[in-house]
Amino acid sequence: MVVSLHRRLFGHTMGAYMKQFLKHLSFSLVGLTLANGILFGTLLLVGRLLGPGQLGLFSLTLAMAQVLVIPMMLGMDVAVMRSVARHAGCLKAKRRIVSSGFLVIGLCVPLVALLIAGSAGVLSALFGIERTVWRTAAALAIVLVFRMFFDGVIRGEGKFKFQSGARVAEALVILLSFTVLYWLTGRGGYRLFLVATMIGAAVISVLYLTGGEAGRLIAWRYASRQEALRLWRYIRFGMGGAVAGLLMVGGDKLLIERLLGPVSLGIYAAYYYVSVQVATQLSYIFINVFFPMVSRHEDKLAVLKKIDRLTRLSFVPAVLLTTGEVAVSLYLLSDAYRFSWVLILSMSVYAILFFIWQTYWWFIASTGAAGVRFTGLHGLVAGIVYLVAIRFLVAKFNLLAPALSFFIAFAYLGGVIQWWKKRYTRKFT
């Protein structure tokens, strides 16, 4: 059935590489869909129990932690994942890559954490956010860094079946931890969900190190400054892309909280989590397998043509499905989150455009350092455009402003993607 569908869609028989891709994708799809379903149910539970105000504070702290991940990680998760995938058959090379990447984060994490802890009072005065929130965000960022790094190692190794099982375990731990903490304390609070998230991240890191055997690739004798610099040369331009991604997924929440308050942020976060965040997780399921495999695939032009065709065929059905999913999710959350069909449709289109952007962005990054530089530069421009647009539109359009702002940013992103595709296609024809 899949082979026949592939022939109808693309006009030729499925090749061995595509079969391998679909095999890995099936593991990722089943496991990560189950994990995301559990996390989605947990989010609905948290949203009902805590209400918009507390959900808004959780969203704000998570956004701040994601910002702190950048200087703590320095892009080593992506650089290591790509390099491990490209040296799949050489254990010595993989040990050198992973150990050198781990050395970088081992130096950066305590440095950034101590800096945030020591300057929490100054940051609180500058941004109007409590110092305890800064320190909590730093603690969350530390756990997220190691989780993301080891996840990158597992992906580079191609252990998608194990990764899927570990992600399901993480989701169950988060749900169980939150439920137990809520029952023990007898009251709600966004920090309960943060603690549960940190416990889940710590558990999956241990699973990656032990069951996933990422630990066998780490030894100080294999770490080298030369390898760390090589990893950095590949990813350094991608830091702009990392900042751009955070402007897209975190900057909007910081602005909404500052301009409209934590309750409005909680309402926006609910819409965001059941639309854009779902699309982000689905894109992760796809890119989880897609990026390491396409990084070592020679005929990237054929892959690009397939992406173009699938985008054209699936856009409208995807928007309709997302609209229905968002509507049902908001109904389950409760009336406190202001059910609005205009906002539902706008956020649904936003979600699908976000998925499309991520797919093309990771494909471009897979072509090498020049692709990373391209995505970093133009992603940063789009991120700035997005936040500036929110700042000017929020007074008139309220919670609709982020979706409208992303449409403006996507117009720029779509234009530069088309420009890049023409240049890339001419190079190989």
Look at residue 10 and tell me if it is in a domain: no
pLDDT of 24: 52
pLDDT of 285: 67
Whether residue 193 sits in one domain with residue 341: no
pLDDT of 2: 41
Whether residue 164 sits in one domain with residue 44: yes
Look at residue 205 and tell me if it is in a domain: yes
Whether residue 134 sits in one domain with residue 255: no
pLDDT of 3: 42
Whether residue 183 sits in one domain with residue 210: yes
Look at residue 12 and tell me if it is in a domain: no
Number of domains in the chain: 2
Look at residue 3 and tell me if it is in a domain: no
Whether residue 299 sits in one domain with residue 199: no
**339 lies in which domain range?**
237-429
From 216, 236, 256, the end of a domain falls on: 236
Rounded distance, CA 51 to CA 284, Å? 28
Look at residue 14 and tell me if it is in a domain: no
Look at residue 389 and tell me if it is in a domain: yes
Whether residue 283 sits in one domain with residue 189: no
Look at residue 189 and tell me if it is in a domain: yes
Whether residue 300 sits in one domain with residue 173: no
Whether residue 324 sits in one domain with residue 247: yes
Contact 48, 334 (CB under 8 A): yes
pLDDT of 9: 44
Whether residue 301 sits in one domain with residue 428: yes
pTM across the whole model:
0.72
pLDDT of 281: 75
Whether residue 279 sits in one domain with residue 151: no
Rounded distance, CA 212 to CA 205, Å? 9
pLDDT of 20: 56
pLDDT of 12: 43
Whether residue 312 sits in one domain with residue 203: no
Look at residue 163 and tell me if it is in a domain: yes
pLDDT tens for each residue of the chain, 429 residues long: 444 444 444 444 545 555 555 555 565 667 677 887 888 888 888 888 888 888 888 888 888 898 888 889 888 888 888 788 878 778 888 899 999 999 999 999 999 999 988 888 888 877 777 888 888 999 999 999 999 999 989 988 878 788 888 989 999 999 999 999 888 887 767 888 999 999 999 999 999 999 888 888 888 788 888 888 888 877 776 666 666 666 776 778 888 888 888 888 888 988 998 898 888 777 766 666 666 566 565 666 777 788 888 888 889 999 999 999 899 988 887 777 778 899 999 999 999 999 899 888 888 877 777 787 888 888 888 988 999 999 999 999 999 999 999 999 999 999 999 998 888 777 755
pLDDT of 296: 60
Whether residue 134 sits in one domain with residue 34: yes
